[in-house]
Amino acid sequence: MKFSEIQSLSAIAELLECDYVGPPDFPVAGFNEIHVVTPGDIVFVDHPKYYDKALTSAATIVMINKKVDCPDGKALIISDDPFRDFNKLKERFRPFEPAEVLSAPSAHIGAGTIVQPGAFIGNQVTIGKNCVIHPNVVIYDHCVIGDRVTIHSGTVIGADAFYYKNRPQGYDQLKSSGRVVIENDVDLGALCTIDRGVSGDTIIGNGSKIDNQVHVGHDTVIGAKCLIAAQTGIAGCVVIEDQVTIWGQAGITSAITIGKGAVIYAQSGISKSLEGGKTYYGTPAEEFRKKYREMAAIRQIPELIEELKKNK
């Protein structure tokens, strides 16, 4: 997430009540998770396993829970709890705004767009031209909808990311400040849930079509002209490249990539990245010819056991 105006390192450190390393006027443009950081961003890290990754990332300000050498050209914020302080930034720069009406005055709705009765349009939402938003659709704050998009009843766009830290007193949520961006000519079926990015964007690309009851997790990027059938579940931070077809009830784990033109058969479980241009089936999913051979071999096991018994 980018700030509306550049902040100074000293001002951010004062807000968080933290020490810092670097010039007081070091520029801070925003805060983001490590997979979407750019120069000027704050990234947080609270585990030694990820110190090097954070310190060498594109982020130029690292919020860290240990005093370390500051890399050249960067700044540090020393926090005893970076997870907590990341949430403080969210609450300061993108606080929750209660709704007072079904369609917020700050929302921008393009010409020719139809919003059916009962739909909720949140603060700072942008909807393009010639869209149809059906009854009981919910579009949370700051989401962006392109032109000629159809969203069917009961779909929720922009709910919080499913992202928690396990603390002794219970689970602590990492607050979401990102957006959902739906590009042009997308159709979303009924009862879909598209979660916002933690600090970046969840994106559905041009011309993609999503069936009923599909879940898309935070920060996932779906490319152009994809087809995703009913009851598919996609975890956070997945990259689905262009022209991928996913049939019903498939489940996809987080932080993997599905290559362009891949086809995933129904009820498959995807636990690793898949090459494009191939067809996959099963749990864990494999190239479908290989999987079918395995299944055929398994069906022969009882017969083979009986044959072995006869030959004893």
Which residues participate in catalysis according to the annotation?
218
Dihedral, CA atoms, 115, 93, 162, 102, nearest 10 degrees? -20
The number of beta carbons lying within 10 Å of the beta carbon of residue 52 is: 11
The CA distance from 4 to 121, in Å, is 22
Residue 199 burial (CB count, 10 A): 30
Coil, strand or helix at 282: coil
Locus of tokens 């017969």: 303
Concatenated DSSP letters of 37-68: --TTEEEEE-SGGGHHHHHTSS-SEEEESS--
What is the CB neighbour count within 10 angstroms for residue 102?
Answer: 12
